[in-house]
């Protein structure tokens, strides 16, 4: 992983050798006010727009204009089963079987729908375990679930915390929480890649541990999908959910992905909310039948899906499918390793990288704690055309994504940091 050099010539050479380099041309890169391309390091927050997205959305607008309701059957990509292709491609991307994945709703909504089924508290076992620094939406969602079931959110929430003066979570601490309270915990919900530190958890290890104590285990993969190898099926997790507008480049607020493990695919006794799209496809349009549960993740859908949003997802997933996660992850490790190398050259007095140094325990994001910095550092970077992400009190998150970021991007990012901090 090493043999990096700190010269610009080295960065240029790496770009030349990079077999994914040309994919950058398939994306719209925002421009800085001097007209040159920004150094876009926030694919973890909002991924860039593939150039083919517009044509895909226009196709559906066109078919709607010319066909009206007939588009359900006669559109170029018939709307009736539009989501099925997406489900299959998405399943590949997250390491799942087609029956385990559906694209529907939005992320936090999916977490709630999953909890309707997989958070079934009893008087004895009702607690929910999350990371202490979970993404706020996840924390609010589980607190409101506790309250919905008439439990006290403070008492019902169990936090997996980092040790004193540490940032990363330790599996031994999770083990000891479960040894003490495992019988009280109904659900474990963890961010597969923590949004703040960039720590990529061992999903299988957490799932096995949770199941040993009889807990349900789910993952929020917002920062994992399209970034790391999730292997959701093999992890054994009961469920997972993720958004598509971060690494998956499908547009602001676009609809989300959802995974339900195959072992639950035919279980009709699970509590769940239903709508006409959870009903058997064969008889859905007879409209008079008794409810007949559709098997697999699709059975959690409620409504007929938004085709315009799905067109953007289709455009993006085709790129992912063409490249494949293996190649993406290979480049990602090399690119982020280079970023880490350059940062370390700057010296440890000013910086601390809080993301794990083991490439298998992170994706492309590095979270950098900058001593004595405030938001003005971030503002100066923005003025210089570097789009990064600031988290109070003193952390900059940068995610060189392998699809459209280059070694040159990383080189210039670190050059700018150097200049501003001087
Ligand atoms: C981005 C993100 C969200 C956002 O939720 P939405 O419902 O899509 O607004 C929630 N949880 C995590 C962990 C995230 O990273």
The predicted-structure confidence for 93-103, as pLDDT tens digits, reads as follows 999 999 999 99
Q: CA 143: distance to chain centroid?
A: 21
The reported pTM is: 0.97
The Cα–Cα gap between 375 and 362 comes to 25
The Cα–Cα gap between 375 and 130 comes to 28
> 102 with 298: CB under 8 angstroms?
yes
Percent of the chain with pLDDT over 90: 88
Same domain for 359 and 297: no
Same domain for 65 and 18: no
Has residue 161 been placed in a domain? yes
Same domain for 330 and 238: no
Has residue 164 been placed in a domain? yes
CA of residue 387 to ligand 1 center, whole Å:
20
Q: Which two tokens stand for residue 167?
A: 């940032």
Same domain for 297 and 257: yes
Ligand 1 pocket mutation, candidates 46, 137, 198, criterion most atoms within 8 A of CB: 137
pLDDT tens digits along 54-78: 999 999 999 999 999 999 999 999 9
Q: Does the pLDDT value for residue 350 go beyond 90? A: no
Half-sphere exposure of 59 (CA within 13 A, CB side): 18
Q: What is the mean pLDDT of residues 306-320?
A: 97
> 128 with 160: CB under 8 angstroms?
no
pLDDT tens digits along 214-228: 999 999 999 999 999
CA of residue 243 to ligand 1 center, whole Å:
7
| More confidently predicted of 375 and 21 | 21
pLDDT at 2: 67
H or E element in which residue 345 lies: helix 325-345
Where among 289, 321, 353 does a domain terminate?
Answer: 321
CATH of the domain at 87: 3.40.640.10
Q: What is the mean pLDDT of residues 255-274?
A: 96
The Cα–Cα gap between 34 and 38 comes to 10
Same domain for 160 and 114: yes
Residues with CB under 6 A from ligand 1: 106-108, 135, 137-138, 191, 195, 220, 222-223, 243
Same domain for 140 and 85: yes
| More confidently predicted of 268 and 31 | 31
Same domain for 35 and 69: no
Where among 321, 338, 361 does a domain terminate?
Answer: 321
> 120 with 186: CB under 8 angstroms?
yes
Same domain for 69 and 133: yes
Q: Does the pLDDT value for residue 288 go beyond 80? A: no
pLDDT at 21: 96
Ligand 1 pocket mutation, candidates 142, 144, 222, criterion most atoms within 8 A of CB: 222
Q: Each residue of 150-172: b (16+ CB within 10 Å) or e?
A: ebeeeebbbebebeeeebebeee
pLDDT at 33: 84
Which of 112-126, 156-170, 269-283 is the least confident region? 269-283
CA of residue 10 to ligand 1 center, whole Å:
37
Task: Give the nearest ligand 1 atom to 134 CA.
Answer: 13
Q: Does the pLDDT value for residue 1 go beyond 70? A: no
Number of domains making up the chain:
2
The Cα–Cα gap between 367 and 386 comes to 15
pLDDT at 116: 98
Q: ∠ CA(83), CA(315), CA(247), 5° rounding?
A: 95
Same domain for 91 and 14: no
The verdict on whether residue 276 carries a ligand-binding annotation is: yes
The verdict on whether residue 66 carries a ligand-binding annotation is: no
Say whether 15 sits in a helix, a strand or coil: helix
Same domain for 360 and 277: no
Task: Give the nearest ligand 1 atom to 223 CA.
Answer: 15
Q: What is the mean pLDDT of residues 174-201?
A: 98
Which DSSP category does 25 fall into?
G
If we measure between CA atoms, which residue out of 307, 258, 238 comes closest to residue 65? Answer: 307
Has residue 52 been placed in a domain? no
Domain that holds residue 117: 58-321
Protein residue with its CA nearest to atom 2 in ligand 1: 222
Has residue 263 been placed in a domain? yes
Percent of the chain with pLDDT over 70: 100
List, in sequence order, every residue forming a beta bridge with 398; answer none if it has no partner: 366
Same domain for 403 and 296: no
pLDDT at 283: 83
pLDDT band at 393 (very low <50, low <70, confident <90, very high): confident
Has residue 84 been placed in a domain? yes
CA of residue 14 to ligand 1 center, whole Å:
33
Same domain for 305 and 407: no
pLDDT tens digits along 37-52: 999 999 999 999 999 9
Q: Mean pLDDT across the chain, nearest whole number?
A: 95
| More confidently predicted of 374 and 363 | 363
pLDDT band at 299 (very low <50, low <70, confident <90, very high): very high
Q: CA 418: distance to chain centroid?
A: 30
Ligand 1 pocket mutation, candidates 115, 143, 243, 244, criterion most atoms within 8 A of CB: 243
pLDDT at 373: 81
pLDDT at 284: 80
Q: What is the mean pLDDT of residues 81-92?
A: 93
pLDDT at 24: 97
Where among 321, 345, 373 does a domain terminate?
Answer: 321
Q: What is the mean pLDDT of residues 393-400?
A: 94
Q: CA 122: distance to chain centroid?
A: 31
The verdict on whether residue 108 carries a ligand-binding annotation is: yes
pLDDT band at 386 (very low <50, low <70, confident <90, very high): very high
CA of residue 22 to ligand 1 center, whole Å:
30
CATH of the domain at 336: 3.90.1150.10
Has residue 106 been placed in a domain? yes
pLDDT at 176: 98
Has residue 50 been placed in a domain? no
Q: Does the pLDDT value for residue 287 go beyond 80? A: no
Has residue 171 been placed in a domain? yes
Protein residue with its CA nearest to atom 15 in ligand 1: 222
Protein residue with its CA nearest to atom 1 in ligand 1: 222
Q: What is the mean pLDDT of residues 207-218?
A: 98
How far is the first Cα of the chain from the last one, in angstroms, to the nearest whole number?
A: 29
CA of residue 189 to ligand 1 center, whole Å:
13
Q: Does the pLDDT value for residue 163 go beyond 90? A: yes
Task: Give the nearest ligand 1 atom to 109 CA.
Answer: 7
């Amino acid at each position: 992983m090493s043999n990096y050099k700190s010269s610009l010539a080295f960065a240029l050479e790496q770009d030349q050798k990079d077999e994914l380099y040309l994919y950058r041309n398939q994306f719209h890169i925002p421009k800085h006010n001097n007209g040159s391309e920004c150094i876009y390091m926030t694919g973890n927050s909002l991924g860039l727009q593939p150039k083919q997205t517009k044509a895909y959305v226009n196709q559906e607008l066109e078919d709607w204009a010319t066909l009206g309701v007939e588009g359900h059957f006669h559109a170029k990509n018939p709307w009736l089963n539009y989501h099925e292709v997406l489900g299959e491609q998405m399943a590949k991307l997250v390491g799942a079987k087609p029956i385990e994945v559906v694209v529907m709703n939005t992320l936090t909504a999916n977490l709630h729908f999953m909890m309707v089924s997989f958070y079934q508290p009893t008087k004895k076992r009702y607690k929910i375990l999350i990371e202490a620094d979970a993404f706020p939406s996840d924390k609010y969602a589980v607190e409101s679930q506790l309250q919905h079931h008439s439990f006290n959110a403070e008492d019902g929430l169990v936090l997996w915390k980092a040790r004193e003066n540490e940032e990363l979570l330790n599996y031994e601490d999770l083990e000891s929480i479960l040894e003490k309270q495992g019988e009280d915990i109904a659900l474990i919900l963890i961010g597969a890649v923590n949004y703040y530190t960039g720590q990529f958890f061992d999903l299988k290890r957490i799932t096995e541990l949770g199941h040993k104590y009889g807990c349900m285990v789910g993952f929020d993969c917002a920062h994992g999908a399209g970034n790391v190898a999730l292997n959701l099926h093999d992890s054994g997790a009961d469920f997972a959910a993720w958004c598509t507008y971060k690494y998956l480049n499908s547009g602001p607020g676009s609809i989300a992905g959802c995974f339900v493990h195959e072992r639950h695919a035919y279980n009709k006794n699970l509590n769940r909310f239903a709508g006409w799209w959870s009903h058997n496809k064969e008889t859905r349009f007879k409209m008079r039948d008794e409810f007949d549960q559709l098997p697999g993740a699709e059975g959690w859908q409620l409504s007929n899906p938004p085709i315009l949003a799905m067109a953007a997802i289709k455009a993006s997933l085709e790129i992912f499918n063409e490249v494949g996660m293996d190649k993406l992850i290979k480049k990602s490790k090399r690119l982020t390793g280079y970023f880490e190398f350059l940062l370390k050259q700057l010296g440890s007095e000013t910086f601390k990288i809080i993301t794990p140094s083991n490439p298998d325990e992170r994706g492309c994001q590095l979270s950098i704690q900058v001593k004595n910095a405030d938001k003005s550092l971030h503002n100066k970077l923005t003025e210089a055309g570097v789009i990064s992400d600031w988290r109070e009190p003193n952390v900059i998150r940068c995610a060189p994504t392998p699809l459209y970021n280059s070694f040159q991007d990383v080189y210039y990012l670190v050059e700018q940091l150097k200049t501003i901090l001087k």
